Amino acid sequence: MAADSSKNPRPISLFVLAMMSTAVVVGLEGLPEVGSFGLPLIVYYAFFTVCFFLPVGLVAAELGVGWPHDGGVYRWIREALGERWAFVGIWCQWVQILVWYPTVLAVCAVSLSYALDPGLHDAGWFKLLVSLGIFWVATIINFKGLSISGWLTTALLYVGTLLPVLLAIGLAAWWLGSGRPSAIPLQWADVVPKLDSIGEVVGVVAIFSFLSGLEVNSVHFRHVKNPQRSIPRSLLFSGLLVLTISVLGALSVAVLVPVEEIDLAAGTLQVFDKVLSPLGMGWMVAVLAGLALAGMVGHILVWVIGPTESLRVAAEDGLIPPVFQRTTPGGAPRNVMLLQAVMVSLLCVLLPLFDLNRVFYFLTIASAQVYLVMYVLMFISVIVLRMKQPDVPRAFVIPGGMPGLLLVAGGGCITALAGIAIMFWPPATKDIAMDGASFTLALAGVFVVVVAAPLVLYRFRNPEWKGRPGLPGSGTTKSGWKRGD
């Protein structure tokens, strides 16, 4: 979400689109977790890139150019499956973002502690204040709309994410090249995965979380010159970049930091600290921590407004009270964003009460599982719309006709469904030991509540709320829930 597309109709080049897709997906927060897989993560990432990342991009491209309206995923699913399932889809997208925010905000706090004073790393009050401050500032910035947050987001993602990851890769290469030992085996035979239990498969499935989000760039697909050729090429290029940067970035953590010492909120910074401090260049750790903080803020800015805008469109359809239709002068969904900020604040208050590594891992699994529900609905929608509305102009169409569509969208849907099912099984990871029964029960409870909630709320929709923002003087003052027809 790098710019307000409505104010920048100039064609986007293949390279720029590929870099935008890469920047919105690649992040520092996932590198420590997947780094614990060692060399087999090369195979894991290649598999998920082909079976999930590329299908998401291709499907989002066809839907984005065919239905380029406000609401994004909500609009697509509504056109294909109706309001009920559209509400379920955007609800799942929004909730997964809610449970993701505390983890990325924890990374922000740790990054700032490295920049200011490493002694603050374990200070709960510091993490809380930083988390609340960053999220509320990001919310206020987005009140101005994409015209301001768009260019800022792009700059932060490039400088604060890609640059630190590339430097971490370079440091790991220098470390090995100078004859120093690796914390993981680096034999070619170790590339082949050895999945001895379904619990280990569950741990690998967490990679879903770190390859999702490509659909937020769909608004830009209609501004690509020669989209039928450029979009697939840009996605392939982006997939290779994501695969290379994510794999090498995660391995840079694994090579330099033993699994048992990895802090899931600070893994990349641990790399910088271990290499640079003994060389008398500890000051660079603070600088790089500042860059990492900027990158995380960029990711937050991308997501703060996206799903909330879709919820505002759902409010215009009368699915939630009209108070959530209100926008700021810049066009941002004010009240939905305020509700989101309050809920994230509550989650951040609760987070210090638990073991951060365990919470980080659980929330990663839970958010990935919920997010996959939205992707299942999106994959189904593109197939339904190809059959129901074949005459709608699409500047880009998934190649291969209906067989090609079924291969791409159907394969992505099956992958997502398998991911949802597998994640109910307790994970088996070297760095985090979890009680199997309690993990499954907790995850199942979260999943059922999240997916059932929009179905229950949908029964209380009110047709009178439709298209009525409830602003003073508008004639609409209702804010209570009333059962709809």
Measured in residues, the chain has a length of 485
Is the model's pLDDT at 435 over the cut of 70?
Answer: no
More confident call, 388 vs 295: 388
Is the model's pLDDT at 257 over the cut of 70?
Answer: yes
* Rounded percentage of the chain residues whose pLDDT exceeds 70: 79
* Rounded percentage of the chain residues whose pLDDT exceeds 90: 19
SS3 of residue 118 by DSSP: helix
pLDDT-based confidence at residue 374 (cuts at 50, 70, 90): very high
State the first-to-last Cα distance of the chain, in angstroms, to the nearest integer.
37
Range of the domain at 325: 5-460
Specify if 470 maps to a domain.
Answer: no
Specify if 445 maps to a domain.
Answer: yes
Specify if 476 maps to a domain.
Answer: no
How many CB atoms sit inside 10 A of residue 226's CB?
A: 12
Is the model's pLDDT at 307 over the cut of 50?
Answer: yes
pLDDT-based confidence at residue 246 (cuts at 50, 70, 90): confident
Helix axes 73-81, 356-388, angle to 10 degrees: 50
Range scoring the smallest mean pLDDT among 207-216, 363-372, 472-481: 472-481
pLDDT in tens, 36-77: 778 888 888 888 888 998 899 889 889 988 887 767 888 899
pLDDT-based confidence at residue 475 (cuts at 50, 70, 90): very low
Specify if 468 maps to a domain.
Answer: no
Looking at the structure of the chain, the number of domains it has is 1
Specify if 149 maps to a domain.
Answer: yes
pLDDT in tens, 72-104: 888 899 999 999 999 999 999 888 888 888 878
Specify if 319 maps to a domain.
Answer: yes
More confident call, 231 vs 127: 127
Tokens of 146: 């994409």
Identity of the highest mean pLDDT range in 126-135, 249-258, 293-302: 126-135
Range scoring the smallest mean pLDDT among 226-235, 389-398, 408-417, 426-435: 426-435
3-state helix, strand, coil in the chain (%, to 5): 75, 0, 25
More confident call, 175 vs 427: 175
Is the model's pLDDT at 272 over the cut of 70?
Answer: yes
Q: What is the pLDDT of residue 407?
A: 96
Question: How would DSSP label each residue in 126-163?
Answer: HHHHHHHHHHHHHHHHHHT-HHHHHHHHHHHHIIIIIH
Specify if 469 maps to a domain.
Answer: no
Considering only CA atoms, which of 380, 409, 382 is closest in space to residue 394?
382
Mean pLDDT on 311-321: 87
Tokens of 195: 């999945």
Q: What is the pLDDT of residue 59?
A: 92
SS3 of residue 12 by DSSP: strand
pLDDT in tens, 161-173: 778 888 888 888 8
Q: What is the pLDDT of residue 91?
A: 92
pLDDT in tens, 350-364: 876 766 566 667 777
Is the model's pLDDT at 228 over the cut of 90?
Answer: no
Question: How would DSSP label each residue in 190-241?
Answer: GGS----SHHHHHHHHGGGGGG--GGGGGGGGGGBSSHHHHHHHHHHHHHHH
pLDDT-based confidence at residue 429 (cuts at 50, 70, 90): low
Q: Is 473 left (phi over 0), alpha (psi -120 to 50) or beta?
A: left
Considering only CA atoms, which of 355, 339, 75, 38 is closest in space to residue 200?
38
Mean pLDDT (the chain, rounded): 79
- In 372-460, beta strands by DSSP E: none
Long-range contacts of 190-197 (CB under 8 A, 24+ apart): 190/38, 190/39, 190/40, 191/39, 191/40, 191/42, 191/43, 192/40, 192/43, 193/40, 193/43, 193/44, 194/40, 197/428
d(CA 213, CA 290) in angstroms, rounded, equals 24
Is the model's pLDDT at 8 over the cut of 50?
Answer: no
Specify if 481 maps to a domain.
Answer: no
Mean pLDDT on 122-136: 88
Tokens of 12: 């986007």
Give Cα separations from 395 to 11, 14, 118, 225 (angstroms): 13, 15, 52, 10
CATH of residue 332's domain is: 1.20.1740.10
What is the pTM (predicted TM-score) of this model? 0.81
Q: What is the pLDDT of residue 269?
A: 76
Is the model's pLDDT at 145 over the cut of 70?
Answer: no
Is the model's pLDDT at 470 over the cut of 50?
Answer: no
Range scoring the smallest mean pLDDT among 44-48, 120-124, 466-470: 466-470
Considering only CA atoms, which of 141, 126, 105 is closest in space to residue 27?
105
Considering only CA atoms, which of 303, 415, 319 is closest in space to residue 56?
415
